[in-house]
């Protein structure tokens, strides 16, 4: 932290307080809102100071590809709320995923990954990593035994998201982390669906946590961002130099927007989760709905695990219509309030058809194995009035039956 900045964090502060005040830096001007530093580079008082900065002997800033005061505030706030030793921001969530894996893995290494993941995450694990000599085994993440059986002598990392996109499959973080650590492997968790408020992977045994800040952290559909949370050792030995030299830097403006998003995250998420629970129950009562997947329902297949490792149920509800793709498309096209979009975690309710969007690259048999049918829809519940959302859903359900 450069001279001229002051920051203070009280260890007794609750999550809500940390999300408003945590990591804030204040200049001599005494600004209340976090300052936005739109600058590419920084100047030095002397040649000696410049040399010291580049040797990491002086803690000031050098270049915004390396670090920036606004980005640093976002990183520190995320570190505090996650309970991690270190945090580094990235331009997107996928940049965070890719950096977390490739900064650590080497040719000849092996990773074990859950089969149920976002399509781009599957691409990185299953197609990109093997190009660099890093082999990958996909497993049913719900099965603890499957993780154990997949371990090889050269296994270096376990990678999964939980809840998974879009079927909300869970991985037992504690049990799987024990298996990984017994094998000398790191555990990397994509925690985007749960957010740092509903699940704490590091406290459950994970080593690295990644987020697409584009989702709930921004929460209003404005900008892209990502973040990697880890130990100081992982940062020093692997992540720091990788990010510095490859350049997936978060822009200061986007960091500022994300800081503003964090301030309202608890309020937004609480309301969204409550509405999502009501909508999931409503959907389950409708004749044209074959099944509903929502972490908060008693009929959710992994309800016991939800209670063990999550403090809330999330705001995503996935449901399957009986009429397949035709019914799903008729449903989507009849919506007036809920918007068709592949984003999630937004203040606006958004819905997508995974088989033709987020997971369209997968072969039909792979989608079938994951439970992603032609009639499956993923609904990200926003901040609209629950009654208005349910009225929109009922109208669309009626239209979906007219084929």
CATH code, 270 = 3.90.1150.10
Domain-embedded: residue 5: no
Domain termination site, one of 261, 291, 325: 261
Bridging pattern class, strands 339-340 and 350-352 = parallel
Q: Please indicate, yes or no, whether residues 313 and 366 belong to a single structural domain of this protein.
A: yes
pLDDT tens digits along 253-305: 999 999 999 999 999 999 999 999 999 999 999 999 999 999 999 999 999 99
Q: Please indicate, yes or no, whether residues 23 and 139 belong to a single structural domain of this protein.
A: yes
Q: Residue 178's pLDDT is what? A: 98
CA angle 183, 188, 192 (to 5 degrees): 155
Domain termination site, one of 230, 261, 292: 261
CA neighbor of 158 nearest in space, from 84, 208, 193, 233? 208
Which stretches does DSSP call E strand in 217-366?
A: 226-230, 289-293, 316-321, 339-340, 350-352
Residue with tokens 């921001």: 89
Q: Please indicate, yes or no, whether residues 101 and 188 belong to a single structural domain of this protein.
A: yes
Q: Please indicate, yes or no, whether residues 110 and 251 belong to a single structural domain of this protein.
A: yes
Phi, psi of 289, rounded to the nearest 5 degrees:
-100, 120
User: Does 308 score more than 90 pLDDT?
Assistant: yes
**In percent, how much of the chain has pLDDT > 70?**
98
What own/partner pairs with CB < 8 Å and gap ≥ 24 does 205-209 have?
205/173, 205/174, 205/177, 205/178, 205/181, 206/173, 206/177, 207/177, 207/231, 207/234, 208/100, 208/234, 209/82, 209/84
CA neighbor of 393 nearest in space, from 373, 376, 379, 374? 379
CA neighbor of 80 nearest in space, from 134, 139, 18, 25? 18
Q: Please indicate, yes or no, whether residues 237 and 294 belong to a single structural domain of this protein.
A: no
Rounded Cα distance between 102 and 130, Å, is 11
Q: Residue 8's pLDDT is what? A: 59
Total Cβ atoms within 10 A of residue 376: 26
Structure-token pair, residue 393:
């859903």
Q: H or E element: which one contains 229? A: strand 226-230
Rounded Cα distance between 330 and 339, Å, is 14
**Does the model's pTM come out above 0.75?**
yes
Measured CA to CA in angstroms, residue 10 lies from 6, 21, 214 at distances of 14, 10, 28
Contacts of 12 (CB under 8 A, 6+ apart): none
| 138 secondary structure, DSSP code | E
CATH code, 170 = 3.40.640.10
Which stretches does DSSP call E strand in 53-173?
A: 86-90, 110-114, 135-139, 155-161
pLDDT tens digits along 325-372: 999 999 999 999 999 999 999 999 999 999 999 999 888 998 999 999
> Does residue 166 have a cis bond before it (omega within 30 degrees)?
yes
pLDDT tens digits along 29-60: 999 999 999 999 999 999 999 999 999 899 99
Residue with tokens 């990010």: 243
Q: Residue 2's pLDDT is what? A: 41
| Mean pLDDT across the chain | 95
Domain termination site, one of 228, 261, 294: 261
**C-alpha 31: how far from chain center:** 31
Structural domain boundaries, residue 381? 266-400
Number of domains in the chain: 2
3-state secondary structure of 320: strand
Total Cβ atoms within 10 A of residue 212: 28
Domain-embedded: residue 102: yes
Q: Please indicate, yes or no, whether residues 278 and 191 belong to a single structural domain of this protein.
A: no
Domain-embedded: residue 356: yes
Structure-token pair, residue 226:
């990502």
User: Does 1 score more than 80 pLDDT?
Assistant: no
| 43 secondary structure, DSSP code | -
pLDDT category at 249 given cuts 50, 70, 90 is very high
Rounded Cα distance between 379 and 398, Å, is 17
Domain-embedded: residue 2: no
Q: Please indicate, yes or no, whether residues 181 and 290 belong to a single structural domain of this protein.
A: no
Q: Please indicate, yes or no, whether residues 22 and 128 belong to a single structural domain of this protein.
A: yes
Contacts of 57 (CB under 8 A, 6+ apart): none
User: Does 6 score more than 50 pLDDT?
Assistant: no
Q: Please indicate, yes or no, whether residues 355 and 389 belong to a single structural domain of this protein.
A: yes
- Phi-psi region at 61: left, alpha or beta (left = phi > 0; alpha = psi -120 to 50): beta
Domain-embedded: residue 8: no
Q: Residue 11's pLDDT is what? A: 75
Q: Please indicate, yes or no, whether residues 281 and 215 belong to a single structural domain of this protein.
A: no
**pLDDT, average across residues 212-227:** 98
Domain-embedded: residue 254: yes
Q: Please indicate, yes or no, whether residues 194 and 321 belong to a single structural domain of this protein.
A: no
pLDDT tens digits along 261-274: 999 999 999 999 99
Domain-embedded: residue 87: yes
Q: Please indicate, yes or no, whether residues 285 and 238 belong to a single structural domain of this protein.
A: no
pLDDT tens digits along 95-116: 999 999 999 999 999 999 999 9
Total Cβ atoms within 10 A of residue 219: 26
pLDDT category at 185 given cuts 50, 70, 90 is very high
Q: Residue 9's pLDDT is what? A: 74
């Amino acid at each position: 932290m450069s001279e001229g900045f002051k920051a203070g964090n009280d260890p007794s502060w609750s999550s809500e307080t940390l999300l408003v005040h945590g990591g804030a830096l204040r200049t001599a001007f005494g600004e209340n809102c976090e300052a936005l530093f739109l600058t590419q580079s920084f100047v030095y008082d002397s040649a000696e100071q410049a040399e010291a900065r580049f040797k990491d002997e002086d803690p000031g800033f050098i270049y915004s590809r390396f670090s920036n005061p606004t980005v640093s505030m976002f990183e520190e706030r995320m570190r505090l709320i996650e309970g991690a030793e270190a945090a580094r921001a990235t331009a997107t969530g996928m940049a965070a995923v890719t950096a977390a894996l490739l900064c650590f893995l080497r040719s000849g290494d092996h990773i074990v990954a859950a089969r149920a993941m976002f399509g781009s995450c599957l691409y990185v694990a299953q197609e990109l990593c093997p190009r660099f000599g890093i082999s990958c085994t996909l497993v049913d993440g719900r099965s603890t035994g499957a993780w154990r059986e997949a371990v090889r002598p050269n296994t270096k990392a376990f990678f999964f998201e939980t809840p998974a996109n879009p079927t909300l499959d869970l991985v037992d973080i504690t049990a799987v982390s024990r298996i990984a650590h017994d094998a000398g492997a790191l555990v990397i968790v994509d925690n985007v669906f749960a957010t740092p408020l509903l699940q704490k992977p590091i406290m459950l045994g994970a080593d690295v946590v990644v987020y697409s800040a584009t989702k709930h952290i921004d929460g209003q559909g404005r900008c892209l961002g990502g973040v990697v949370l880890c130990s100081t050792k992982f940062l020093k030995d692997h992540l720091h130099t990788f990010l510095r030299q490859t350049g997936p830097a978060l822009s200061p403006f986007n960091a500022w927007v994300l800081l503003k998003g964090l301030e309202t995250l608890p309020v937004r998420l609480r309301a969204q989760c409550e509405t999502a629970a009501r909508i999931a129950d409503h959907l389950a009562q409708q004749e044209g709905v074959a099944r509903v997947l929502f972490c908060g329902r008693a009929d959710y297949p992994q309800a016991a695990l939800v209670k063990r490792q999550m403090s809330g149920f999330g705001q995503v509800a996935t449901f399957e219509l009986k009429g397949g793709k035709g019914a799903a498309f008729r449903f989507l096209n009849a919506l007036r309030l809920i918007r068709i979009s592949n984003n999630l975690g937004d203040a606006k309710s958004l819905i997508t058809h995974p088989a033709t969007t987020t997971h369209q690259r997968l072969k039909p048999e792979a989608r079938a194995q994951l439970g992603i049918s032609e009639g499956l829809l993923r609904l990200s519940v926003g901040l609209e009035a629950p009654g208005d959302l349910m009225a929109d859903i009922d109208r669309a359900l009626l239209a979906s039956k007219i084929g």
